Structure 1
Amino acid sequence: METTRSTPETARSDTGTARSPAVVATLSALLLLAASIAGQIAAGADCPTVPPGLVIPLVAAALLVWRTNRGTTGLALGIGLFIGTGAILTPNTGDHLSSGDTTLIASTAAELVALATLVIAGAAATLARKGARH
């Protein structure tokens, strides 16, 4: 009869897909951002044929799921800052919020919430991953 021994290498708990709350919030914010852009398109907002505000967060979310490290969390933070700056500087956001169209107002408000969450959670996830090796 063979007995097995537990060593530190075999006894460690490997959670596999477990992610920190900051990474989960960053991923959620990326998905909410993409969904809010889709909502704006559905409400009739003027968008390019391939809307970058929809595609870029989805690609970043896929990268974050595939490989969670400081680079991908930093990329998500950069996207939040880049798209957030664009949302603040262009008149479209104000036009959408004052349009009177409930769907457009709600999706634009969701976009702003997603961007704020993305910047805060992305910064927290990036700083938390500073010492992590993956």
Structure 2
Amino acid sequence: METPTNTPETTRNDNGTARSPAVLATLSALLLLAASIVGQIAAGADYPTVPPGLVIPLVAAALLVWRTNRATTGLALGVGLFIGTGAILTPNTGDHLSSGDTALIASTAAELVALTTLVIAGAAATLARKGARR
């Protein structure tokens, strides 16, 4: 039996299942989302002691790395929709963008880019795995 090899289009996790570009983009967006929250906290934004916007994407990223399947890509998509809805409905995002603080504006803009990428890539990854069973 031949061992699977990496190709330019995919990378492989430990059990040999391929990670598509959409899955890699989803994973990257989850990590960028978490990093942008850290950036906002460092810039002085008011967050709880344990910010859910930081913890939830990291847990979803860990699950996606551990087991890439339709459930985990769907969970990542749900995280993007959940946190994105919160970002739109709360006045904090607008306040951060109009604060005049360059670091806070940049980290909030990175958060919005991460959320947009997460929803698009998460949807693509979930739909692409429709017939996948693992």
Gaps of 5+ in 1: 1-9
Specify the code of the residue in structure 2 equivalent to 1:40. Q
Gaps of 5+ in 2: 7-11
Partner of 1:104: 104
Distance of 1:66 and 1:60 partners within structure 2: 10
Distance of 1:111 and 1:50 partners within structure 2: 18
State the 1:13 CA deviation.
Answer: 2.8
Partner of 1:92: 92
Task: Give the aligned CA root-mean-square deviation in angstroms.
Answer: 1.1
Residues 56-77 of structure 1 show CA distances to partners (whole Å, capped at 9, x for unaligned) of: 0000000000000000000000
Residues 11-62 of structure 1 show CA distances to partners (whole Å, capped at 9, x for unaligned) of: 3636542410000000000000000000000000000000000000000000
SS state at 1:11 partner = coil
TM-score by length of 1: 0.90
Distance of 2:33 and 2:43 partners within structure 1: 15
Partner of 1:54: 54
Distance of 1:102 and 1:55 partners within structure 2: 24
TM-score by length of 2: 0.90
Partner of 1:6: none
Distance of 1:74 and 1:97 partners within structure 2: 29
The sequence identity of aligned pairs, in percent, is: 87
Partner of 2:9: none
